[in-house]
Structure 1
Amino acid sequence: MRRNAWIFLAVPLALFLVFMLLPMVIAAVISFTDYAIVGDTEWVGLENYTRIFQDSFFWISLRNTAWYTLLYVPLGLVIALGSAILLNRSHRAVRLFRTLFYIPVVSSTVATATIWYWLLNPQKGLLNVALGWIGIDGPAWLYDSQWAMPAIVLMSVWAGFGANMIIFLGGLQGVPGDLYEAARLDGANAWQQFRYVTLPSLSRTTFLVSTLLIIGAFQVFDQAYVLTKGGPGNSTVTMVYYIYNKGFGALEMGYASALSFVLFVIILIFSLANARLSNPRSDAADRRRARRHDRKAVSAR
């Protein structure tokens, strides 16, 4: 039996070693060199890493990525959860809307970005035309350094919220209906049921979705590359976009590898911080529920 399990694990394990672990080891070695694809390669030690903290463009890309994350993660959470609550019904038409909302997830990022490029056109774009109907003069979006990043966030949320919506739907369908019935009997309205029943029951689901959003936010690349090429005025140069420019534009593979590992550490820190902030709440709630259950069992005896 154990042999059969290892046979089934052999293929995914081999793929992980060849396409994940081995490239990470090679990149780690390259990060300590001045490897540039062409020419000789020399061992430079920690020079690439010390250079990062003196690189002004690195701090610009980090600031832009942090701004993107600050906008993208809360908005992505709210829209995914809200759409999941609206579609958490057994009506036949709901299945159609679930499919429609999920289609952007499986669509090409380039195709999605092309659609949004026309939607965000400052003169004839649908978004500015709709704003004009209510008397608002829409901004230049992708051509304005103040609005370019929010425009990319809008496109990213629209393109990716379907996957997180499905995760929230799974969490919502796992909430016992008895909890809502008990809340209604106690006189709780819709908002109170959402606050005291839905949100606590979705604590682990919210933690998962928020972690995925944070990781995806720090890895954003396609949207900035297709829509703005990092402009205007470097306002949308993200960390991955900067790594791409250094690696494949300037052929500084050693420096790009060092940047990649710094990004890995940043993502790890934020993921652990999110876990630290989320898990104690859910654990404490679980402990309180367990104590209430124990008290009810004792009183029943």
Structure 2
Amino acid sequence: MSSAALDIGAGARAARAAAADQPRIRTQRSRDTRIGWLFVAPFVVVFAMFLVWPLVHGFYLSFTGESITGAGGDFLGFANYIEALKDPIMWRSMLNTAWFTVLSTIPLVIVALVMALLVFQGLPGQWLWRLSFFMPFLMASTVAAQFWIWMYNPQLGLVNYLLGAVGIEGQAWLQDPTWAMLAVVVETLWWTVGFNFLLYLTALQNIPEQQYEASALDGAGRWRQVRSITIPQLGPTTVLIVILQILASLKVFDQIYVMTNGGPGGVTRPVVQYIFESGFTGYRFGYASSIAYIFFAVIVIVSLVQVRFTMRRSES
């Protein structure tokens, strides 16, 4: 028998064997799929109950006059959205949120980078510096806020005491409309900068040491290495930190609510606090939901702009 005939026979047997295995393979895949869904079912249930359903129900409430008591649930159409867009307090709280985001994001990136560079360059007692920089981030928001309320106390606070020691007059930081927002930003910087510091430090440790050695052989000093090697290598991490920080700052609520409760004249009231007040103080769930979804749309737009900017920068 020729080799060609043998090959044809072997191919036919292999085809018959594969065809015979198809039902068994389909049965196995179906069984694996059922087992997979069984494992992910608890997450799907929790995800649907605590995220999908609240989003859908909240969107429905935004078109009604629902109150905290359950009364007044009549369908109002876009009345809540029209009222919210004409509400000067909502726009003021939006501006407060944007201003807080600008004031907090820039120092939270720069200070975290400086802290990471100092530790990475070999400060004595690195474990102590790392612990000190990251420890405040582990505090609950209310604990950190209460700590700084005492620090800002006009009569007993450490801030005014230190300023008085150098001949500078103290302030009622949290009660003064001029300084209230800045005081909250300083507290937020102290409390959350440790997370960004940790991200930068991890990125620094992943830069190949050979690049520094090669640049040193070419005569590059420490500052030249930072400008030409370290900063460019940290570009992706910086983009990540900026995106995370902007999104976190837009959702600010805890520390402002505890420290100033919106501040004198509402100068520090963020939009999340106004949503809370509209729903749980003004008893207008429907109206609060409409503001929440307007704010949600703003966050989506900001996120899309950031992603677009990041993609263009990566392409270039």
Counterpart check, 1:151 vs 2:183: yes
Q: Which runs of 5+ in 1 are unaligned?
A: 285-301
What is the aligned partner in structure 2 of residue 255 from structure 1? 287
TM-score, structure 1 length as denominator? 0.87
The structure 2 residue matched to 1:161, chosen from 172, 177, 193, is 193
TM-score, structure 2 length as denominator? 0.83
Counterpart check, 1:142 vs 2:174: yes
Counterpart check, 1:48 vs 2:100: no
Given that residues 144 and 232 in structure 1 are in contact (C-alpha distance below 8 angstroms), is that contact kept between their aligned partners in structure 2?
A: yes
Kindly tell me: are residues 214 and 258 of structure 1, through their superposed partners in 2, closer, same or farther at Cα, counting changes over 3 Å? same
The structure 1 residue matched to 2:53, chosen from 1, 16, 22, is 22
CA positional deviation for 1:64:
0.8
Which has the higher Rg, Structure 1 or Structure 2? 2
Kindly tell me: are residues 125 and 263 of structure 1, through their superposed partners in 2, closer, same or farther at Cα, counting changes over 3 Å? same
Which letter maps to 1:14? V
The alignment partner of 1:143 has SS state of: coil
CA positional deviation for 1:120:
0.8
Counterpart check, 1:281 vs 2:313: yes
What is the aligned partner in structure 1 of residue 217 from structure 2? 185
CA positional deviation for 1:163:
1.4
Find the aligned partners of 1:276 and 1:185 in 2 and give their Cα distance: 39
Moved more, 180-189 or 250-259: 180-189
CA positional deviation for 1:243:
0.5
Given that residues 203 and 282 in structure 1 are in contact (C-alpha distance below 8 angstroms), is that contact kept between their aligned partners in structure 2?
A: no
The alignment partner of 2:193 has SS state of: helix
What is the aligned partner in structure 1 of residue 231 from structure 2? 199
Counterpart check, 1:82 vs 2:108: no
Find the aligned partners of 2:36 and 2:201 in 1 and give their Cα distance: 32
Counterpart check, 1:128 vs 2:154: no
The structure 2 residue matched to 1:171, chosen from 203, 208, 213, is 203
What is the aligned partner in structure 1 of residue 131 from structure 2? 99
Given that residues 137 and 194 in structure 2 are in contact (C-alpha distance below 8 angstroms), is that contact kept between their aligned partners in structure 1?
A: yes
Given that residues 68 and 280 in structure 2 are in contact (C-alpha distance below 8 angstroms), is that contact kept between their aligned partners in structure 1?
A: no
Find the aligned partners of 2:124 and 2:174 in 1 and give their Cα distance: 39
Moved more, 188-197 or 4-13: 4-13
Moved more, 246-255 or 77-86: 77-86
The structure 2 residue matched to 1:57, chosen from 89, 112, 120, is 89
Find the aligned partners of 1:19 and 1:131 in 2 and give their Cα distance: 48
The alignment partner of 2:265 has SS state of: coil
What count of residue pairs does the alignment treat as equivalent? 284
CA positional deviation for 1:8:
4.5
CA positional deviation for 1:107:
1.2
Given that residues 34 and 253 in structure 1 are in contact (C-alpha distance below 8 angstroms), is that contact kept between their aligned partners in structure 2?
A: yes
| 1:95-123 deviations in Å (ceiling 9; x for gaps) | 23322322222212111111100101123
CA positional deviation for 1:142:
0.4
Q: Which runs of 5+ in 2 are unaligned?
A: 1-31
Which letter maps to 2:119? L
What is the aligned partner in structure 2 of residue 294 from structure 1? none
Find the aligned partners of 2:35 and 2:227 in 1 and give their Cα distance: 47
Given that residues 112 and 200 in structure 2 are in contact (C-alpha distance below 8 angstroms), is that contact kept between their aligned partners in structure 1?
A: yes
What is the aligned partner in structure 2 of residue 291 from structure 1? none
CA positional deviation for 1:128:
1.7
The alignment partner of 2:210 has SS state of: helix
Given that residues 204 and 282 in structure 1 are in contact (C-alpha distance below 8 angstroms), is that contact kept between their aligned partners in structure 2?
A: no
